[in-house]
Amino acid sequence: MAVTLQVGYAGAVRGRLPHGWRIAASFDRTAGRVRITSPDTDDFSLDVDTSTLHQYGSHRTPLWGVLGDERVEAKYERGVFRCDAAEVPEFWLEVHLSQILPRRTQKSG
């Protein structure tokens, strides 16, 4: 069952996409996945599997196919999954998993 997540300053998902694209987000409680897309384009899509957050840690991990052909880097620290792209300075994204997941599953790195 997927639930819509609040996007914005106080929301579980915060950030900015290039070209003024809007952000939409949902959380599939059964699969444990956060899905972030834009209703304005097919060039942006990100799935965050909450069962594999340990692979990110506080170091930057490259992700491909998230923002067109751009290299996006992600890290997970203190309950927040962060993404940005050096070549697209207006892009940044934070998923505040501490607002989504039960407290016992929020382990960093």
Report how many helices (DSSP H) and strands (DSSP E) the chain contains, helices first: 0, 9
At position 68, the amino acid (one-letter code) is G
> What is d(CA 105, CA 11) in angstroms, rounded to the nearest whole number?
19
Contact 56, 46 (CB under 8 A): no
Q: What are phi and psi of 97, to 5 degrees?
A: -65, -20
- pLDDT band, residue 31 (cuts 50/70/90): very high
The residue ranking higher by pLDDT, 76 or 106, is 76
Prediction pTM value:
0.85
Per domain, the residue ranges of the chain are 2-105
Q: What is the average pLDDT across 20-40?
A: 94
Contact 99, 78 (CB under 8 A): no
